[in-house]
């Protein structure tokens, strides 16, 4: 398990506008503080990824995302907070003020309540959603290894936090409003 000190160091980098690499349920993610649009822009530049696709926001608790999304019903909250067979990213109606850097050209925002202990600790320590995307340049293979990630992104990111990925496939993506499974 990653030490509390390593979580604090990674969170410090996030609070200073940094881009970090960290393990998630399936692969290593590269991310930043969702509230820091300069960091989001830097992340998109590093990945060579267009903003129009949108990004996933990781949270440790749904309350961390409330200012970004339209209010949810008690049934929707129960579904999102309920047990899932694997990591699930929900498409939720975004507030009008949410930047296209985060939601892309979509009216909805991709949100995942992470159960990965390191990613969850990072979200809790930061107190904000973390932009999370695969740790690769757009169109290139993803990383499930901290050493590879560190070497590949050397001097381009501000912090790499080692740890084990959760061994799951990529998260399923479900549109909360329609129930439609976008990615299984």
The model's pLDDT over 138-162, given as tens digits with 9 standing for 90+, comes to 777 776 666 666 666 767 899 999 8
Residues of the chain with pLDDT under 70: 1-2, 143-152, 154
How high is the pLDDT of residue 3?
Answer: 84
Residue 54 has what pLDDT?
95
Distances (CA, A) of 128 to 59, 74, 84, 109: 7, 22, 23, 15
What integer pLDDT is reported at residue 87 of this predicted model?
Answer: 95
How far apart, in whole angstroms, are the C-alpha atoms of residue 16 and residue 178?
38
pLDDT at 140: 74
Domains of the chain: 4-183 (3.90.870.10)
Judged by DSSP in three states, 133 sits in strand
Residue ranges of alpha helices (H) inside 82-116 are 100-103
Phi/psi for 151 (5° steps) reads -65, -40
Name the residue among 63, 52, 65, 50 with its Cα closest to residue 131.
Answer: 65
């Amino acid at each position: 398990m990653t030490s509390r000190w390593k979580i604090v160091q990674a969170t410090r980098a996030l609070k200073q506008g940094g881009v970090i690499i960290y393990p998630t349920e399936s692969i290593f993610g590269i991310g930043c503080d969702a509230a820091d649009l300069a960091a989001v822009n830097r992340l998109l530049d590093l990945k060579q990824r267009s903003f129009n696709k949108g990004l996933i926001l990781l949270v440790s608790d749904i309350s961390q995302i409330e200012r970004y999304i339209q209010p949810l019903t008690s049934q929707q909250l129960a579904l999102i907070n309920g047990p899932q067979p694997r990591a699930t990213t929900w498409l939720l109606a975004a507030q009008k003020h949410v930047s296209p850097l985060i939601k892309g050209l979509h009216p909805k925002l991709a949100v995942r309540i992470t159960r990965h202990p390191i990613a969850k600790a990072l979200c809790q320590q930061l107190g904000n959603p973390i932009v999370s995307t695969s740790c690769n340049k757009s169109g290139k293979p993803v990383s499930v290894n901290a050493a590879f990630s560190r070497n590949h992104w050397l001097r381009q990111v501000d912090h790499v936090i080692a740890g084990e990925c959760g061994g799951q496939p990529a998260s399923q993506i479900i549109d909360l409003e329609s129930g439609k499974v976008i990615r299984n």
